Amino acid sequence: MSLQLYGIELESRLLLGTSQYPSPAVLLDTIRESRTDVVTVSLRRESGTNRNGQAFWSLLREANVRVLPNTAGCYSVKEAVTTAHMAREIFDTPWIKLEVIGENDTLGPDVIGLVEAARILSEEGFEVFPYTTDDLVVAAKLVDAGCRVLMPLASPIGSAQGLNNPRALGRMRGHFPDIPLIIDAGIGLPSQAAAAMEMGYDAVLLNTAVAKAGNPISMGRAFALAIEAGHLAYEAQPLLARDMASPSTPVLGKAWLD
């Protein structure tokens, strides 16, 4: 069940965002109940002047989880790279969730800028987790740029629409069998997360669907169970759909009556 990302072994396949929770206590309880090993953190939680982010940083230390800083809200290569440098200094990790936003309504990635920034950061020793599309050409360029993980979106950030293009996501899984693939953005229900895992995805990253739930703590646990179930189902090689009925009871040895 364990997952390896850049040589780090993780027990959980759920990565959890840390924004929009009703309180720090709820966030901490959700992290614990979801049993996640990795949480994503925006640099904007840390203040360079009065260190307002120190309370939040202390909370994460108490949770005993690995931090994946992100470049959320960056719209240019320069901004994303600069933010990544600051995040590495503050959080003391080479991991960076790289976002270069290209469009305001969908918050979709600027894939050209993303590839450029990924190459720069990889050459500087960062271990890049790129927020990208399901386009195979872009994915290949990101791998060529040094990314050893790909994070395609399921649907727009915070939309809860689920897997908008499962065929494309399935093709990506088949095209990159040896690259860890993490669904990032758009998941709204545990069933949607389970569906992604049943396709062979390695993990799911969530924020809004948990943080904005009526009970984030319970929802975090629900997603953890769904992701585990989906992964186990994929590994069990599920029965493929068929056009015709197939009897589950054998007809051999059945009595025939005239």
Active site residues: 97
Helix axes 216-235, 24-34, angle to 10 degrees: 20
- 3-state SS track over the chain: CCEEECCEEECCCEEEECCCCCCHHHHHHHHHHHCCCEEEEEHHHCCCCCCCCHHHHHHHHHHCCEEEEECCCCCCHHHHHHHHHHHHHHHCCCEEEECCECCCCCCCECHHHHHHHHHHHHHCCCEEEEEECCCHHHHHHHHHCCCCCEEECCCCCCCCCCCCCHHHHHHHHHHCCCCCEEEECCCCCHHHHHHHHHCCCCEEEECHHHHCCCCHHHHHHHHHHHHHHHHHHHHCCCCCCCCCCCCCCCCCCCCCCC
